[in-house]
Structure 1
Amino acid sequence: MPRVWDVPVHDPTRLRDTRLAVAEAADAAGLDETRTANAALVATELATNLLKHADGGRLLLDVVSPPEPVEGGDPTRFVQITALDHGPGIADVPAALDDGFTTARSLGAGLGTCRRVADTFALHSTPGRGTVALARIGPGARGAAPSACGVRAGGVNLPYGGAEYSGDAWTCVRSGDRVTLMLADGLGHGPLAAHASTAAVDALRRSAHLSPAEALGRLDADLRGTRGAAVAVAQVDTAAGTLRFAGLGNASAWVWEDGAWHCLLSHPGIVGVHRPRTLVDRQRRWRGDRVLLLHSDGLPGRRTPPSAPDLLSADPAVMAAVTLRDSGSAARPPRDDTSVAVLSPAPREGR
């Protein structure tokens, strides 16, 4: 079962916890000594910024696939480091990324260094609401390549109560022009819930060629004997310009189109426990400016995702992280495992 590291950062003693979490995540991703050191540098800088500028926050570390879906899967694994806070925010994000910028009488090299040593680095901040910083460090320094299928995927996963394993899981798979995003929420939380959601991920990776409804049938068979899971499956056919969706249970799905978020309805049921005899895909048009967002019930089901233009065009994991952060506060933490996954247009080459 994939591990997720949740490190609350509210005092300097947590910097040691941060370095230990990075070492474990880097080992799980198969990073060498140099790349592990880079990941530790980025995580330490982001944790230090949380203490200096936001009165604390949290770091989430996960081992993820590249944002660009690759047919047949990609063995390359990245350590994803996400820093979230409810602090004062940054008024000028581009300036904050320049070397020499500081508001704390320091050298002002932290965020610029993070951007240089990470494979991908992104920063989003809203004055008065907080900041999200996200970095991915893989086995070799390389920039994000343009996506051959025109879309990219990303997400964040927060275990309930600081547990080692989240009962939620998400993945994105590709078969030809079909790109499928799935989110699974294992019943309850803890290792047994994680076992169910991990089984769903493994099953979908063998079912990339199937439609969402067909994939749910395959998942239902593979999850028999587990606790079961609520599962949302959305598939974009980039050549045909279609979006197909099927879901069972209370995993939520939203699509951004024509300037508004629209909810995609799931069927009642639990994959691996109870599935309707008849399950059909819901279909709608897909254009290159649309965004798809899935989330588990750790987020309020009726809460509309954020719609700021800079978020809709941001790295999908950044949008997922902002959605997660804005669903609660430091005084009102989530009461269940919480995950958000996003599929969005890939940046055009040269932009």
Structure 2
Amino acid sequence: MSGGTVASLPEGLLDGGVWFRVEAAGTASAVRRAAERLATELAMPEKRINDLSIVAAEAAGNLVKHAEQGTILVRVVRTVEQAGVELIAVDSGPGMADVERALGDGHSTAGTLGIGLGAILRQASRWDLYSMPGKGTVLAMQVWPSGAPERSWASGLTRPLTGETVSGDAYAVREIEGRRQVLVCDGLGHGGLAAAASHEAVRAFHKASAVPPAMLVEVLHRALGHTRGAALAVAELDLAAGLVRYAGLGNIAGTVFGPDGGRRGMVSMPGIAGHQRRQIREYDYPLAPGAVVLMHTDGVVDRWNAAEYPGLFARSPEVIAATVLRDAGTRRDDAGVLVARS
């Protein structure tokens, strides 16, 4: 998740986390150790590290026993006051027809005791889940050192191109002087230089003053002049006015999904931030109560159909983003998704 309080990752912590492909018990152990190491680095209390260890072991174990193409993202989540660890488990099947029954201790589809999900729910500070038969399950879990903070109104995920260790895609979230603003960027190409461009965009985004999206994109364009450049877009959710204000350069897709099922695409201008642009323009779009703003890089295909996912937009931003990334993300490019709720 990255005057006024900035509800996002502090400058310098730009790592989008580490993805693990979970197919064997050995990988499940690696997930647990990675989560414990993060928590130790964050100086979390020993009891919460132990709780996190249980959550990580059960989540990874469930993927080994039950899932197809299971992966887990392990990353830090922060507020101004504290830092915790988040795990997002994603699989492509079989999915659950009766989520409520599956959440109860004693239910199992693999002849085991069926206590895994129950243990996760008891030890995690917060969790959210979306599952559909035939498509799979996304389970997001957070463990905080003390009480869980208020749910974030926006979150996202990035995943590197297959074979790369870093992603050239990035996102950021901030609240500054009453403005709720989000950034999605895609560094030109892939690998370390693409990641450096996106990280510079995130750094400049957090440092910039409270200005409208078009002015903010101009600031980012100037900041990226010494990098290879990036496609990027900024959206501002003005809840009082019922509007999304949007400005972008390059191939970042933005869509407003209304509570009635309608969708409205948002317009970015041609160009590469840091290198070439014609004119930066800002557009306003209606934002009804309950609407969702979804932005993604070109590593995610636009053919994703929200109508095939009943109830998804009632879930948390991280679960929505992970579901879209799973089903619409390509492995041939870096991929990034951000979701913001009204």
Q: What TM-score do the two structures reach when normalised by structure 2?
A: 0.89
Contact persistence 1:247–1:266 (CA under 8 A): yes
Comparing 233-242 and 14-23, the one that deviates more = 14-23
How far apart are residue 306 of structure 1 and its match? 5.6
Q: Does 1:145 align with 2:158?
A: no
How far apart are residue 29 of structure 1 and its match? 4.6
Q: Does 1:36 align with 2:41?
A: no
Q: Which runs of 5+ in 2 are unaligned?
A: 1-13
One-letter amino acid matched to 1:77 = A
* Cα distance change of structure 1 residues 5 and 306 upon mapping to structure 2, 3 Å threshold: farther
Contact persistence 1:50–1:85 (CA under 8 A): yes
Comparing 280-289 and 29-38, the one that deviates more = 29-38
The aligned counterpart of 1:268 is 270
Q: State the SS of the aligned residue for 2:272.
A: coil
The aligned counterpart of 1:58 is 71
| Structure 2 Cα separation of the partners of residues 30 and 295 of structure 1 | 33
Q: State the SS of the aligned residue for 1:161.
A: coil
Contact persistence 1:155–1:340 (CA under 8 A): yes
The aligned counterpart of 2:104 is 98
Q: Does 1:159 align with 2:164?
A: no
* Cα distance change of structure 1 residues 296 and 27 upon mapping to structure 2, 3 Å threshold: farther
The aligned counterpart of 2:22 is 9
May I ask how many residue pairs the two structures share in their alignment? Answer: 328
Contact persistence 1:299–1:334 (CA under 8 A): no
The aligned counterpart of 2:190 is 189
* Cα distance change of structure 1 residues 146 and 299 upon mapping to structure 2, 3 Å threshold: closer
| Structure 1 Cα separation of the partners of residues 300 and 332 of structure 2 | 9
How far apart are residue 124 of structure 1 and its match? 1.0
How far apart are residue 249 of structure 1 and its match? 0.9
The aligned counterpart of 2:309 is 308
| Structure 2 Cα separation of the partners of residues 271 and 237 of structure 1 | 25
One-letter amino acid matched to 1:219 = L
Per-residue CA deviations over 1:272-328 (Å, capped at 9, x if unaligned) read 12222x312100222212110011111114444566341111001100011111126
Q: What are the equivalent positions in structure 2 for 1:293-332 lying under 5 Å apart?
A: 293-305=294-306, 308-327=309-328
| Structure 2 Cα separation of the partners of residues 181 and 166 of structure 1 | 18
Contact persistence 1:180–1:234 (CA under 8 A): yes
Q: State the SS of the aligned residue for 1:233.
A: strand
Q: State the SS of the aligned residue for 2:25.
A: coil
Contact persistence 2:16–2:158 (CA under 8 A): no
The aligned counterpart of 1:240 is 241
The aligned counterpart of 2:4 is none
How far apart are residue 256 of structure 1 and its match? 0.7
Per-residue CA deviations over 1:51-107 (Å, capped at 9, x if unaligned) read 1111441111222345xxxxxxx2533322111111111111112122222222333
The aligned counterpart of 2:287 is 286
Comparing 285-294 and 20-29, the one that deviates more = 20-29
The aligned counterpart of 1:69 is none
The aligned counterpart of 2:338 is 341
One-letter amino acid matched to 2:172 = T
| Structure 2 Cα separation of the partners of residues 336 and 28 of structure 1 | 31
* Cα distance change of structure 1 residues 13 and 163 upon mapping to structure 2, 3 Å threshold: same
One-letter amino acid matched to 1:263 = G
One-letter amino acid matched to 1:166 = S
How far apart are residue 162 of structure 1 and its match? 5.3
Q: What are the equivalent positions in structure 2 for 1:126-137 lying under 5 Å apart?
A: 126-137=132-143
How far apart are residue 146 of structure 1 and its match? 6.4
* Percent of pairs with identical residues: 38
| Structure 2 Cα separation of the partners of residues 34 and 210 of structure 1 | 43
Per-residue CA deviations over 1:182-219 (Å, capped at 9, x if unaligned) read 11111122222111111111211123611111101111
Contact persistence 1:60–1:158 (CA under 8 A): no
| Structure 1 Cα separation of the partners of residues 333 and 81 of structure 2 | 30
How far apart are residue 134 of structure 1 and its match? 0.8
One-letter amino acid matched to 2:267 = L
Contact persistence 1:243–1:283 (CA under 8 A): yes
Among 253, 259, 262, which residue is 2:261 paired with? 259
Contact persistence 2:69–2:91 (CA under 8 A): yes
* Cα distance change of structure 1 residues 75 and 120 upon mapping to structure 2, 3 Å threshold: same
Q: Which runs of 5+ in 1 are unaligned?
A: 67-73, 346-351
How far apart are residue 36 of structure 1 and its match? 2.9
| Structure 2 Cα separation of the partners of residues 36 and 193 of structure 1 | 34
One-letter amino acid matched to 2:91 = D
* Cα distance change of structure 1 residues 249 and 64 upon mapping to structure 2, 3 Å threshold: farther
Contact persistence 1:248–1:267 (CA under 8 A): yes
* Cα distance change of structure 1 residues 29 and 334 upon mapping to structure 2, 3 Å threshold: farther
Q: What TM-score do the two structures reach when normalised by structure 1?
A: 0.86
